[in-house]
Amino acid sequence: MIEYDALIVGAGILGLSTAYHIKRTNPNAEVLIIDKLNSSGQGNTAKSAAAFRCIFSSSTNYTLANSSVEFYRHIQEDIGIELGLQWLGYLWLLDGANYRETVQVFKKLEKTLNLEYREYGEKDLADKLQLQTDLTKDEEAQIMGLKNILGGIFIPKAGVMNDVDCLVKFYQNEFMKLNGKIEYGVKAEKLLVEPNKPLEMPGEPFFWQYARVAGVKTDRGQVRARKTILVSGAWMPTLLDSVGIESYIKPKKRQFFTLPASNSGLKQLLKSKGFNSLGCMPFTILPNIRIYIRPFPKEQSYWVGYADEFPRAFNLEENPQPEKNFYEFGIYQVLTKYFPQFRDVRTSSASAGLYEVNTLDGHPVIFEENDLIVVGGASGSGITKADSIGRISAALYNQEEYAHLYGQTKFKVSDLGIRKRSTEREKLIL
Amino acid sequence: MIEYDALIVGAGILGLSTAYHIKRTNPNAEVLIIDKLNSSGQGNTAKSAAAFRCIFSSSTNYTLANSSVEFYRHIQEDIGIELGLQWLGYLWLLDGANYRETVQVFKKLEKTLNLEYREYGEKDLADKLQLQTDLTKDEEAQIMGLKNILGGIFIPKAGVMNDVDCLVKFYQNEFMKLNGKIEYGVKAEKLLVEPNKPLEMPGEPFFWQYARVAGVKTDRGQVRARKTILVSGAWMPTLLDSVGIESYIKPKKRQFFTLPASNSGLKQLLKSKGFNSLGCMPFTILPNIRIYIRPFPKEQSYWVGYADEFPRAFNLEENPQPEKNFYEFGIYQVLTKYFPQFRDVRTSSASAGLYEVNTLDGHPVIFEENDLIVVGGASGSGITKADSIGRISAALYNQEEYAHLYGQTKFKVSDLGIRKRSTEREKLIL
């Protein structure tokens, strides 16, 4: 039976990027990706908001995102492969509770990392977006604890992808061009654990033996590998629990809802001027309760979503469903207070997926234990960071101390590991 | 329906200690303990090695353990309540791989914390314990990767409890004397989550409302409380996952095996002189693969156990069973190399339980989220630290910044929390 050099479990965006960068740096290595679905990027990658941003409060996350976004720009603008990037920018709306703190975060990033951003005042925003900034006289809004919007911060280096599949196909194609292999419809059921030095005794490995992950048992037989690389997102913790490895990743349901621009107010909102060169509303985040609004100017629609916290369960649902009440009694109630244009608009579709939340610090985890490399915990910003995560995972595979991210930024691989982890707590999670 | 001031879920040793210290510091509070079993301490408390030690590498763990052990001594020697403490001491056997590092840990503890310890040389140990220290010529031992024992470190302030039930009953009785209530045979099935300010609308809480844990739903109805205190060990993560709270606690099977002193060598080993005033073998830990040997001089037997790591699963088994092969191909093989006295001895009984492992740093976690207090993660040393953990949990309940441990040590409550956690990685886990 063939022993692959690298077996990647999961053909989502992170698995593809990891596989590509491993193969790119090891052209002669036998690299196989397996995925339980029938093509790439069909799991939670397909169920994301397909947005990207260079901006995070921690310099680690910033580096991961900024370098990835620059790489995507390079692919589209220099190489000429269409990724469908639309530089709408991100607009964070701020209320009294978070205004000062958030502005400080951005000022610091401007100073240390040369981040470009613009501040918008309350009146300006009200005017540009027909935004209801003052909720003082709205009794319901007061009961709901909603605060007035005092201003906003806009980041130009951010936006959305028309179709995340372009990026998925880019990594897949590049990987295939290098003779990488992908097998679909193969489900990893169990990690194969074997002693490093087998004694050919039944019951091995015994606990006094050094043992390693030698591949995976799938529903279509064993696949053996020198290094097994688990990049299966929300499904990872189950496999890791079965061998007692902690990744600090938990699955959590995330949902978003499609709203057609079915009235003149919403049609106009899509064409909001004064933010980007596309003459479009930016990807916008409400204050405090961070509901996001992702515009689709071509499709004349919006996605709205919210990553709710307590008491939302950590739960690995096989087929998570969007909840009608989550929109109607949740998002709708808050959204229409600030954006009255959305009143009486009905959702035309809805989607739910599982995010893989890193509960340590909101950063990805990339580490190796017993020949098993674990890559995940992107906490909802996998697309934004996919290229950097792939490069760092490849550097770990190559036993290098530093990864070279796009743009020649050096990144210490162990910073995202478990034992020598070095990160700051992220404050700008959506 | 009555709303308790404090509802403690779990009548294990940590739950009892927590309940007692809350009631002691709040004599008028209505405090209820519930447990799914039919009496106290029958879960994993009963499935422990019932050993105690003041010694840990981190000063946090040391403080928790030392103060608890001093309290137990006080109860038994000053107050006169029999806890069955036997001060056998702990003997750590050391090989070349860990000798220097471990001695440094102890030297530092002696300096900073006044820890009393003694070093024993190889020949001395071989003589006192009829220990096989030199495995150089043992081909099997070489294949197994076992190293020679170079010496040992002995800590006098440590030992075993004849019966852990004495300590369980002590806390239970003290709690009852203060009019604390316990209800047995009541299983917590779900956390009750309610909005802080109910709007009396169906579907509450909505995500824009502040919500709290208002008690638990049990198989015998709701129990409501101002503060719900979850101290149910290995079973906690399931309840916490259901509301998206991360405790960094994972369940892991731990097993130990009873061996009768059925030959003269083992009878003699029990009576090893030169360690403690009881003229008994200390609680002994093998090097590298840290199998422990717990002597029962009165019963003329031993317990041996081992907390295996990779690939032992994190798994919440309802009724974990000891594994024959774990002893025969695991423990037996290593044990008999160092202690040939155990050769051909058969186990007379075996036991398995679930430890609640804290995967962050091997220290307990004590924190509050949304009126839910979480206490656990003692990582196999719950008995050793039970009193301190109870006092710190009570201080958190009382909204105090510092807990006063037995012996007047001040302990910063947030050091064991999640947000402002401050601990060092523990090196002396068994």
B200 contact A CB<8A: no
How far B324 CA sits from the closest chain A CA (Å)?
11
Distance CA B3, CA B130 (A): 61
Structural domain contains residue A146:
yes
Identify the pLDDT of residue B201.
87
Structural domain contains residue A79:
no
How far B217 CA sits from the closest chain A CA (Å)?
15
A65, A384 contact by CB (below 8 A): yes
pTM of the entire structure? Answer: 0.96
- Per CB-CB distance under 8 Å, the chain A contacts of B242 are 311, 313-315
Structural domain contains residue B84:
no
Distance CA A212, CA A372 (A): 8
Identify the pLDDT of residue B202.
85
B288 and B240 within one domain? no
Identify the pLDDT of residue A102.
87
**Residues in Cβ contact with A2 at an 8 Å cutoff, skipping those fewer than 6 apart:** A30, A224
Structural domain contains residue A80:
no
SS3 A91: strand
Q: What are phi and psi of B147, to 5 degrees?
A: -105, 160
Q: What are phi and psi of A2, to 5 degrees?
A: -65, 140
**Residues in Cβ contact with A100 at an 8 Å cutoff, skipping those fewer than 6 apart:** none
Q: Whose CA is closest to A385, among A184, A167, A218, A229? A: A167
Structural domain contains residue B43:
yes
The number of angstroms, rounded, from the C-alpha of A294 to the middle of its chain's C-alpha atoms is: 15
Nearest CA in chain A to B242: A313
Q: Which of B203, B208, B306 sits opposite A145 (nearest CB)?
A: B208
Nearest CA in chain A to B238: A314
Structural domain contains residue A160:
no
A334 contact B CB<8A: yes
A229 and A150 within one domain? no
Q: Do B333 and A208 touch (CB under 8 A)?
A: yes
Q: B113 burial class (0-12, 13-18, 19+ CB within 10 angstroms)?
A: middle
A286 and A326 within one domain? yes
B329 contact A CB<8A: yes
**How far is CA A45 from each of CA A38, A303, A317, A352, rounded to the nearest angstrom?**
14, 16, 16, 11
As for how many domains chain A has, the answer is 2
B317 and B200 within one domain? no
B193 and B142 within one domain? no
Q: Whose CA is closest to A325, among B5, B202, B300, B37? A: B202
Identify the pLDDT of residue A429.
65
**How far is CA B39 from each of CA A311, A365, B43, B320, rounded to the nearest angstrom?**
31, 43, 9, 20
How far A329 CA sits from the closest chain B CA (Å)?
7
Q: Decide which of A304, A337, A355 is a domain's last residue.
A: A355
B259 and B137 within one domain? yes
SS3 B227: strand
- Find the domain containing B172 and state its range: 3-49+165-248+360-416
B319, B282 contact by CB (below 8 A): no
A138 and A230 within one domain? no
Q: Do A309 and B244 touch (CB under 8 A)?
A: yes
Query: What CATH number is associated with residue A139?
Result: 3.30.9.10
A197 and A145 within one domain? no
B256 and B151 within one domain? yes
Identify the pLDDT of residue B429.
65
SS3 B326: helix
- Per CB-CB distance under 8 Å, the chain A contacts of B206 are 329-330, 333
Question: How many residues are present in chain B?
Answer: 430
B340 and B281 within one domain? yes
How far B356 CA sits from the closest chain A CA (Å)?
13
ipTM over 0.85: yes
H-assigned helices in B117-257: 122-129, 139-143, 165-177, 236-241
| Residuewise pLDDT in 10s, chain B (430 residues) | 799 999 999 999 999 999 999 999 999 999 999 999 999 999 999 998 899 998 888 889 999 999 999 999 999 999 999 999 999 999 999 998 888 888 988 898 889 888 899 999 999 999 999 999 999 999 999 999 999 999 999 999 999 998 999 999 999 999 999 999 999 999 999 999 999 999 988 889 999 999 999 999 999 999 999 999 999 999 999 999 999 999 999 999 999 999 999 999 999 999 999 999 999 999 999 998 999 999 999 999 999 999 999 999 999 998 999 999 999 999 999 999 999 999 999 999 999 999 999 999 989 999 999 999 999 999 889 999 999 999 999 999 999 999 999 998 999 999 999 999 999 877 776 6
Query: What CATH number is associated with residue B398?
Result: 3.50.50.60
Mutate to test the interface with B, among A206, A249, A424 (most CBs of B within 10 A): A206
A364 and A331 within one domain? no
Identify the pLDDT of residue A278.
95
Q: Do B241 and A210 touch (CB under 8 A)?
A: no
Structural domain contains residue A143:
yes
Q: Decide which of A325, A355, A385 is a domain's last residue.
A: A355
| Residuewise pLDDT in 10s, chain A (430 residues) | 799 999 999 999 999 999 999 999 999 999 999 999 999 999 999 998 899 998 888 889 999 999 999 999 999 999 999 999 999 999 999 998 888 888 888 898 889 888 899 999 999 999 999 999 999 999 999 999 999 999 999 999 999 998 999 999 999 999 999 999 999 999 999 999 999 999 988 889 999 999 999 999 999 999 999 999 999 999 999 999 999 999 999 999 999 999 999 999 999 999 999 999 999 999 999 998 999 999 999 999 999 999 999 999 999 998 999 999 999 999 999 999 999 999 999 999 999 999 999 999 989 999 999 999 999 999 889 999 999 999 999 999 999 999 999 998 999 999 999 999 999 877 776 6
A130 and A45 within one domain? no
Distance CA B155, CA A200 (A): 41
Q: Decide which of B308, B331, B358 is a domain's last residue.
A: B358
Identify the pLDDT of residue B430.
65
Structural domain contains residue B104:
yes
Q: Do B315 and A211 touch (CB under 8 A)?
A: no
Nearest CA in chain A to B420: A425
